[in-house]
Structure 1
């Protein structure tokens, strides 16, 4: 198949090779480190999210580097615009997973929606966004290769980005609301009722099973039959010891909970930073594509580097430094998210 050339640069400039190579190296290193960290700490979810997203970024910046060698080639231009638009979807998926993990560990009563709904709602939103962007990117590539108008395909891509932008905005709101409530210990009353009702249903089911199988009957053992009566003078010291042990246990649990909450705060701050970077990038990309492929933003390389490349590197690399494996108890198996 012969290469397709254009009469002039589709970028409005020639991409700077140094910037392209810098981002190729940065995203490659982040992906490699994430791969090692995921294996060491048994976080399989990192592979289809952060690692895959970083590799797609590498592919996109490789396309830009290819363009820097021959800016009139159409293939690398389409390659980079399709991949760089879709890559953040994988980063946001990981943000959703981490917040869901935090809600399960710190208390679902502090969340506006149940933890499992984060996976259902926001991962589904990510998939819809990814499909729209992939369809739009594919149609844009086909139309551009044939010399046909690309506005319809571009509008589909914009719809995908805006859809992701809205879902990310809702996610950020839910995340902030959860952490503030968890810190202040202000649970939602309706969530407490739901959790209590679930607990009672579970207990009722256990009691029903016990009755069915004949469990729960008590018999006096020989030792119980031979129990002697203990005087109040003998019981009092034992009560004091028991109370002291109970106070120490409660204090230890409170201290453990405080440390646990602080660690989750650190991890969720990383989620917040990553999410905000994706949000900023989404605003930039939406405006860029609405302006069209001959618009102002797409013709300025610094916007691409500063509002897409750098934010996306921060979004993925921050988890190399603030990693759940560093903050949370060590996982013993690959099962589950944590």
Structure 2
């Protein structure tokens, strides 16, 4: 495997595409895919902003809208790259945004678990809601820092047509760190849901919130595995130079992870779950009185 990129340096960014001249992407980015995902993620971003304003859910709404907007920006860069397929700047922009945007979505998911725990019961969780945010947000911050530093190093290497591996390994370290953090969080989430399964199953709104969260976390873990393998395989590796994988295993999975929280939005479901819990004692008392014949 070559240790550096093998396309001509100083080639005009918007030179008409020539299949005989390799692009930084390894292909010409798809215009239809770029437009479709731009529209989809713009719609998700607007939906999350609307929910944040309508339901006064600032933290979760901001996190999800920033995650969707980052995906929109990444696919905007890939759409522009259809017209300018030799642009290093578009490669760097889409790489930075699509690598870091999921961290905002995970931040929103941390907040959801924090809202679920008081309803399920603090005794069902090994950590307090505040600790989840503190620990995993700190890990995500350092993960983003590593990815940003790695992106800067790789970008400088691209511009000089030098080996991008030092920056690549730094990005991979950040992604793997983030992936490991997400896997640990997923394990804790499953533990909390398993221990509180009886209360969750009895509460329709809590059941939907748990389902949406599990779907989103599963998508994000799968996407993290793909991204790690893609970059470890190299900038001229099979995964990086075949766009179908980015469309399905990055954009597709992130779209699902964001969409489930538009369909089953926690700012709507969590209050309903709390209301169900508050009504439950009275309903149980009425049922017991009816069963006793009083």
Q: Distance in 2 between matches of 1:258 and 1:62?
A: 41
Q: How does 1:169-184 map to 2 (within 5 A)?
A: 169-184=183-198
Q: Distance in 2 between matches of 1:146 and 1:48?
A: 37
Pairing 1:272–2:286 present: no
Q: Distance in 1 between matches of 2:151 and 2:163?
A: 13
Determine which of 131, 140, 156 is the counterpart of 2:145: 131
Q: Corresponding residue for 1:163?
A: 177
Specify every segment of 5 or more residues in structure 2 that has no aligned partner in the other structure, as ranges: 1-9, 16-20, 273-294
Q: Residues 129 and 163 of structure 1 are in contact (CA less than 8 Å); yes or no, is this contact kept in structure 2?
A: yes
Q: Corresponding residue for 1:48?
A: 62
- 1:258 is displaced (CA, Å) by 7.1
**Higher relative contact order, chain-length normalized (CA < 8 Å, sep 6+):** 1
Q: Distance in 1 between matches of 2:151 and 2:220?
A: 19
The alignment's TM-score, normalised by the length of structure 2, stands at: 0.83
Deviates more, 1:148-157 or 1:99-108: 99-108
Q: Corresponding residue for 1:19?
A: 33
Name the SS of the counterpart of 2:22 in structure 1: coil
The alignment's TM-score, normalised by the length of structure 1, stands at: 0.72
Name the SS of the counterpart of 1:298 in structure 2: coil
Paired residues in the alignment total 257
User: Structure 1 residues 63, 3: CA separation in 2 closer, same or farther (over 3 Å shift)?
Assistant: farther
User: Structure 1 residues 3, 63: CA separation in 2 closer, same or farther (over 3 Å shift)?
Assistant: farther
Q: How does 1:138-153 map to 2 (within 5 A)?
A: 138-153=152-167
Q: Residues 60 and 112 of structure 2 are in contact (CA less than 8 Å); yes or no, is this contact kept in structure 1?
A: no
Q: Distance in 2 between matches of 1:315 and 1:86?
A: 15
Q: Residues 288 and 295 of structure 1 are in contact (CA less than 8 Å); yes or no, is this contact kept in structure 2?
A: yes
Q: Residues 3 and 75 of structure 1 are in contact (CA less than 8 Å); yes or no, is this contact kept in structure 2?
A: no
Q: Residues 51 and 61 of structure 2 are in contact (CA less than 8 Å); yes or no, is this contact kept in structure 1?
A: no
CA RMSD of aligned residues (A): 1.9
Specify every segment of 5 or more residues in structure 1 that has no aligned partner in the other structure, as ranges: 186-256, 331-338
- 1:154 is displaced (CA, Å) by 0.5
